Amino acid sequence: MIFGAGDFTVNFGGFAMGGIGTATLAAIILYQALSIGRGKSVHPAEAGAAAE
């Protein structure tokens, strides 16, 4: 959110991504980085259906 509010801009050659685009990309990367190591959770209803 700080990236978007501060209008942070990232330049890749001739492409510039600023504001909300940079904040969105940072949120996606952070979400993926924090979910490393978590196992795939199984919903209890799905576990019961799989046992049948």
1-52, pLDDT tens digit by residue? 566 667 778 788 888 887 788 788 888 888 989 887 776 666 666 665 555 5
Report pLDDT for 39. 66
Rounded Cα distance, 7 and 18, in Å: 6
Report pLDDT for 50. 53
Report pLDDT for 10. 79
Rounded Cα distance, 24 and 18, in Å: 10
What are 16's two structure tokens?
A: 């510039």
- The pTM score is 0.53
Domain count, the chain: 1
Domain that holds residue 36: 2-51
Report pLDDT for 36. 79
